[in-house]
Amino acid sequence: MTGVFFRYHTYELAQRLGVRGWVRNNPDGRVEAIFEGKKEAVDRMLNFCHRGPLGARVADVEVRWEPHRGKFSGFEIRYG
């Protein structure tokens, strides 16, 4: 299977919703992300993560809520 561009689609949705934070691939194949923004927008990001883009197979989504820190100015794809 070729890549499904999970990070790219996450980035695009975050840009549209005004969500800040980052997304990255982990060496074990998991995708990790931090989302900051209005609750409705973060909820939409989480809904996307549960299904992923076309062709993705999402086995599990772990969510950990933390207090808003306001430390991100935008949303980025992280590498490595």
Q: Which two tokens stand for residue 42?
A: 């973060």
Q: Is 78 left (phi over 0), alpha (psi -120 to 50) or beta?
A: beta
User: 3-state SS string over 51-76?
Assistant: HCCCCCCCCCCCCCCCCCCCCCCCEE
Say if residues 7 and 24 touch (Cβ distance below 8 Å).
Answer: yes
List, by residue number, the catalytic residues: 7, 25
